[in-house]
């Protein structure tokens, strides 16, 4: 009999960018796959891939308790009615409410995917009442025989093990959400025009957006007209989100350009020379960095959770301290000044991506988890 797999993700566009290959691999392996996510207008693309969809009522900002309770009860009633064999929860919020719903509804098997823990687990908030309460709740809801938790970095795994949410036998590991190495193939840097430094992320302070702008300003007297900074990403409801006014006041539209949300990120990467990603947000493994590595771009990122796992310092890029615009400017300067260094590190980045981030490795881990959890 065909096993029913429900994958619960906050929003449909995140599913499409980070989890579609896993779901289609499960479909091809014989699972009946349903995606439960908020329909932001692109759920039809999920259905076009042969997958079923259910619209999830969820408030991404998480500031209204009434909305949170609504999400919990929706998932509980859904699981109780549909009785899926496996529920796969992606992201912290869906893990919290989804695991409670699974326990109440008596779901047979549960998979949680930790793809970054975000603001609640940074240095400022890690010991807060809210964060500690979430860990205590998940210790209860994840107390299941048929459980696997998939991590993307050892820091997050350590938090869950220290909180006694999981043991070693319940853990699986992937190097991020993977990359299609055929779609993101090696592309030599452009030979004409200014050197372009690209940053692709949501416009959130913790992603290092303002630090990058500060570094750009430090480099401007020497390099204006020779380099450009491209900030690619939309505004965000995150409490640390950067406003449109803040960005427009700091970006001149030429030397520093804020491009907003773009659908042609791959083409922008190919037109760039360097990826800068000075984040201190608790990443799982930042996909934008992996994508840049796959096409052969050197990386400047921080020695912080998730980010540090994408770079071997001095080989395929540079690791710098968080919140340090001087260190960022210095690292960028090394790459700006040396085409040879960019090319060497770019080729090393491609090799690193091929060895660590192939999407097939990620889908294989998931299929193994789905199979063994029901044995």
pLDDT digits (tens, 9 = 90+) for 12-43: 999 999 999 999 999 999 999 999 999 999 99
Q: Does residue 171 share a domain with residue 90? A: yes
Return the higher-pLDDT residue of 119 and 249. Answer: 249
pLDDT of 168 over the 70 cut: yes
pLDDT of 367 over the 80 cut: yes
Q: Does residue 287 share a domain with residue 259? A: yes
List all residues 6 or more positions away from 54 whose beta carbon is below 8 Å from its beta carbon.
34, 35, 36, 37, 78
Q: Does residue 84 share a domain with residue 8? A: yes
List all residues 6 or more positions away from 33 whose beta carbon is below 8 Å from its beta carbon.
5, 7, 23, 26, 27, 51, 52
Residue 185 lies in a domain: no
Residue 174 lies in a domain: yes
Q: Does residue 280 share a domain with residue 147? A: no
Residue 120 lies in a domain: yes
Q: Does residue 151 share a domain with residue 50? A: yes
Residue 227 lies in a domain: yes
Average pLDDT (144-153) is 94
pLDDT digits (tens, 9 = 90+) for 64-108: 888 999 999 999 999 999 999 999 999 999 999 999 999 999 999
CATH number at residue 48: 3.40.50.2000
Phi, psi of 286 (to 5 degrees): -65, 115
Residue 143 lies in a domain: yes
End-to-end CA distance of the chain: give it in Å, rounded. 14
Mean pLDDT across the chain, nearest whole number? 94
pLDDT of 363 over the 70 cut: yes
Q: Does residue 39 share a domain with residue 160? A: yes
SS3 of the chain: helix, strand, coil, percent, to 5: 45, 20, 35
Name the pTM for this structure.
Answer: 0.91
Residue 330 lies in a domain: yes
What is the pLDDT, as a whole number, of residue 375? 86
Q: Does residue 203 share a domain with residue 63? A: no
Q: Does residue 163 share a domain with residue 17? A: yes
Q: Does residue 215 share a domain with residue 116? A: no
Residue 165 lies in a domain: yes
Q: Does residue 211 share a domain with residue 346? A: yes
Q: How confident is the model at residue 62 (pLDDT cuts 50, 70, 90)?
A: low
Exposed/middle/buried for residue 364 (C-beta within 10 Å: 0-12, 13-18, 19+)? middle
Average pLDDT (206-228) is 96
Q: Does residue 150 share a domain with residue 67? A: yes
Average pLDDT (308-316) is 97
Parent domain of 304: 195-356
Which structure tokens are listed for 207? 């992603």
Q: Does residue 324 share a domain with residue 369? A: no
pLDDT of 63 over the 70 cut: no
Tell the residue number behind the tokens 């997958």, with chain if given.
51
- Nearest C-alpha neighbor of 132 from the set 162, 102, 174: 162
Average pLDDT (124-132) is 82
Number of domains in the chain: 2
Residue 187 lies in a domain: no
Q: How confident is the model at residue 251 (pLDDT cuts 50, 70, 90)?
A: very high
């Amino acid at each position: 009999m065909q096993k029913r797999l429900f994958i619960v993700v906050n929003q449909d566009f995140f599913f499409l960018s980070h989890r579609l290959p896993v779901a289609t691999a499960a479909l091809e392996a014989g699972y009946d796959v349903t995606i439960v996510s908020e329909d932001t207008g692109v759920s039809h693309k999920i259905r076009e891939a042969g997958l079923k969809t259910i619209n999830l009522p969820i408030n991404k900002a998480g500031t209204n308790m009434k909305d949170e309770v609504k999400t919990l009860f929706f998932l509980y009633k859904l699981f109780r009615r549909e009785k899926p064999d496996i529920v796969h929860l992606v992201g912290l919020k869906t893990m919290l409410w989804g695991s409670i719903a699974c326990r109440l509804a008596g779901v047979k098997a549960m998979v949680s995917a930790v793809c970054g823990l975000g603001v609640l687990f940074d240095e400022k908030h890690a010991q807060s009442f809210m964060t500690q309460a979430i860990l205590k709740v998940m210790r209860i809801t994840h107390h299941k025989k048929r459980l696997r938790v998939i991590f993307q970095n050892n820091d997050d795994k350590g938090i869950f093990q220290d909180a006694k949410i999981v043991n070693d036998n319940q853990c699986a590991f992937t190097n991020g959400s993977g990359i299609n190495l055929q779609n993101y193939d090696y592309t030599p840097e452009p030979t004409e025009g200014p050197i372009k430094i690209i940053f692709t992320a949501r416009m959130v302070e913790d992603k290092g957006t303002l630090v990058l702008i500060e570094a750009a300003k430090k480099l401007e007297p020497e390099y204006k007209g020779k380099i450009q900074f491209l900030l690619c990403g939309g505004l965000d409801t995150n409490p640390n989100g950067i406003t449109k006014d803040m960005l427009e006041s700091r970006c001149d539209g030429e030397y520093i350009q804020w491009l907003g949300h773009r659908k042609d990120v791959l083409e922008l990467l190919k037109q760039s020379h360097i990826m800068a990603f000075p984040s201190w947000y608790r990443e799982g493994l930042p996909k934008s960095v992996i994508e840049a590595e796959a096409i052969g771009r050197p990386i400047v990122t921080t020695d912080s959770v998730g980010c540090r796992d994408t770079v071997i310092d001095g080989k395929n890029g540079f690791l710098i301290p968080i919140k340090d615009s001087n260190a960022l400017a210095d690292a960028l300067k090394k790459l700006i000044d040396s085409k040879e260094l960019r090319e060497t590190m770019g080729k090393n980045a491609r090799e690193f991506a091929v060895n660590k981030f192939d999407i097939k490795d990620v889908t294989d881990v998931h299929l193994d988890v789905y199979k063994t959890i029901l044995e």
